[in-house]
Amino acid sequence: MSGCAEPVRVPEQRRDAAATLTTTPEQRRDAAATLAVALWLFLLESSFAGALSDPEVDRYNVRVGTQTFADLYQFTTNSLLTETAQAIQSLGSDVIKMYLGADFPRQYHLALPSTVTNLLTLARDEPSCRRTFDLPFRHIIAWAYPFSTSDAGWKNGYSASERANDYRELYDLTRYLLTNYNRSGKTFYLGHWEGDGYLAPWTTNAGPTAIQGMIDWLNNRQKAIDDAKAGTIYTNVNVYGYAEANRVRDAMLNAPNNNQRVINMVVPFVTNLDYLSYSSYDAMNLSTADLYATLDYMEARLPTNKVSSIPGERIWIGEYGWGADSTAAQEPLTRAYLQRLLNYGRKALPFILFWEIYNNETNRNFCLIDSNNVKVACYDLHGRFINAARLRVAQFKEGNSRLPTDSEFVSLVTPLLNGPLPPPINLSVTNRGAVLSSTGSVVSVSGAVAQGIYGSDCAEVWIYWGRQDGGTSRTGWEQSQRLGLNTNFNPVVFTALLTNLVSQTNYSFRFYATNANGEAWAPSSGGFSTATLVPSDYGSRMKIGFTGYTKPDDKILPAAVRLSRLGNWERP
């Protein structure tokens, strides 16, 4: 069901009440009571008008999103994190990827309160962090680095003190997130930046101490999260751990002296790992076959201990982007990459995250909003895709009484990416036709309404009619009737009965819809006529029969007759 409820219709009662105001005292009391009821009903229907949305569809993961790290510019007096988080929310996304750790001030251009000394107090006490967590993001992915240890201190061996400090901060943060956001519907994913950036030089293998240190580090982080979850009572909230690999093609293709990477030397030994992220710059320009082979390689090295407890795909795309290209040139590349990734394997990659909302590198274009505060082509791609994808999920559920499976979802949205996505159309209205009753005093008119922006206000639908065509001016029509709110995600037909029509008269009509985002009229006015044939007005009449038609009731049927000048008739 949508978030809109069909209101009670009361225009007749209001008109009747107004008509009796100048009559007897008893009638005036009745009229006052009627007006009170009408006002109550009006307020009731106004309270029901809401967004065209569905809670289950709101929670459905449409996969694409973006992130915010160390951006070079901002446009408001808010903190950089707050500003970029709100920009991501405005995109329509319910996922955000961000930073947590001692480097928070550099990342977001602010000073930390003196009370912030670890991950728990950062999440709890830093205003912009807390504000971001409180926004309606359902998936919050974070590079989470304990304050008490360096980011990659394990490269020289993972000491007991490092192990204890990391465990304590990850454990405490997980418990806080589970308790503070209990019943919120949020899921937090705690991980790190590109693992191969820490592990190895670009041209050689890492040493065994660094490899074992990273294995120990990731196992310890995952254990802290798992232990905190085991020791906490929580509902409708979750926290997971993840690792990130980035030089996967090295592991697949390089010679033995330069092929030891996170994906093949570390991930297989993090036995209880929840998720694996792929910073996929080395795969973006591959053929579809090679891209899928790379993802298959990663899948094969992901430990299976959590398969039963975490349903669905456990790898995602943590970063990608063509920042060296112009923002215009990035759109077709990004669109094609999204299409290929959505169709990979079980068609269930949970996240495909563009790098990033604002640019973080000088002389590059890693952004959805540029330094002039201009929303670039990939911003439109993401925003329009998110809207269209959620609308198609809602339409699917409306027609099938269930949400689409992963493969059904991908089938719904893949065609969207065949070309640039057009702007969504808020409202579309068409006239469908008019049917005159046998008496000529009542006409049934119908029109179709469709809404193209998921979550916009449910549209009010009206029919306007009269003896003059009022065009697209509401005041230009003689009569109007409110038909109700549109509560449908799919196009829907509204029908109205027009009564008390003047006989032998031509009428025009036009359907109209409006909501907070705008208004729309049918492209042109329709027409009907109450004119009827009066037999006495004609000197001659002819009865025409149809062979095989024996029903006694009268019907209006089309016929073509050609009359000769001699008065004889011929077949046409």
Model pLDDT for residues 495-542, shown as the tens digit of each residue: 999 999 999 999 999 999 999 999 999 999 999 999 876 666 666 766
| 126/222 Cα distance (integer angstroms) | 25
Over residues 217-226, the mean pLDDT reads 98
Task: Tell me, yes or no, if the two domains 64-372 and 427-529 fold the same way.
Answer: no
Lowest mean pLDDT among 12-21, 121-130, 180-189, 545-554: 12-21
Sequence-ordered list of residues with C-beta below 8 angstroms from that of 387, at least 6 positions apart, any chain: 92, 424, 453, 454
Smallest Cα–Cα separation from 130: which of 138, 118, 121, 142? 121
Domain residue extents for the chain: 11-48, 64-372, 427-529
| 527/508 Cα distance (integer angstroms) | 4
- Residue 183: how many other CB atoms lie within 10 Å: 9
| 1/181 Cα distance (integer angstroms) | 27
Over residues 455-473, the mean pLDDT reads 97
In one-letter notation, the amino acid at residue 198 is Y
Residue range 64-372 forms a domain whose CATH class is alpha beta
Bond prior to 299 in cis (omega within 30° of 0): no
Beta carbons of 182 and 237 less than 8 angstroms apart: yes
Sequence-ordered list of residues with C-beta below 8 angstroms from that of 121, at least 6 positions apart, any chain: 115
Helix, strand or coil for residue 377?
A: helix
Antiparallel, parallel or unpaired: β 518-521 and 506-515 = antiparallel
| 116/94 Cα distance (integer angstroms) | 27
Chain segment 360-392, per-residue pLDDT in tens? 999 999 999 999 999 999 999 999 999 999 999
Architecture of domain 427-529: Sandwich (2.60)
- Provide the mean pLDDT of the chain: 90
- Residue 547: how many other CB atoms lie within 10 Å: 5
- Residue 28 has a pLDDT of 53
| 160/241 Cα distance (integer angstroms) | 21
Q: Residue 29 CA to chain centroid, in angstroms?
A: 51
| 215/367 Cα distance (integer angstroms) | 33
pTM of the model: 0.86
Lowest mean pLDDT among 197-201, 345-349, 566-570: 566-570
